[in-house]
């Protein structure tokens, strides 16, 4: 991860994430800026984005705190900060495998302060 960084803002909560160099991350980067409405599922925010990508060979069935991922079945961006309804103890499990695009810098748990239905904006971070 490195040079490409995004800012995600919703409900007065801004976070920065560093993007990786995957093919799906490239498609996502090209589609920015993106706005949507927050949906929550456990300690996950997800929302549909105008990106279409297949599941990558290294798609992950579990992710780490702060993962920014693309969920191919729903064409959705997912932000994880804790367990989902499908998680076993000690893991974060998406509904199905996701393409990890990057990682939130700092405390991802602040995402828990964002209400379902809030407007969310994802854009390239300045600087």
pLDDT digits (tens, 9 = 90+) for 32-87: 999 999 999 999 999 999 999 999 999 999 999 999 999 999 999 999 999 999 99
Domain count, the chain: 1
CATH number at residue 51: 2.40.100.20
Provide the sign of the torsion angle of the four alpha carbons 49, 53, 58, 59, taken in this order.
positive
Tokens at 72, concatenated = 């191919």
Nearest CA among 64, 69, 91 for reference residue 79: 69
The residue segments making up the domain with residue 40 are 5-124
Strands (E), the chain: 5-10, 13-19, 34-37, 39-40, 44-48, 67-71, 76-80, 99-105, 119-124
| pTM of the predicted structure, to 2 decimals | 0.95
């Amino acid at each position: 991860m490195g040079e490409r960084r995004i800012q995600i803002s919703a409900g007065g909560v801004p976070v920065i994430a560093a993007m990786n160099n995957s093919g799906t991350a490239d498609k996502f980067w090209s589609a920015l800026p993106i706005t949507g409405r927050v949906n929550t599922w456990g300690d996950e925010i997800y929302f549909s984005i105008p990106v279409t990508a297949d599941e990558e060979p290294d798609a992950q069935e579990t992710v780490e705190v702060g993962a920014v991922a693309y969920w191919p079945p729903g064409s959705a961006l997912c932000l994880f900060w804790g367990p989902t309804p499908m998680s076993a103890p000690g893991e974060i499990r998406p509904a199905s495998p996701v393409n990890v695009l990057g990682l939130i810098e700092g405390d991802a748990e602040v995402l828990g302060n964002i209400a379902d239905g809030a407007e969310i904006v994802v854009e390239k971070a300045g600087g």
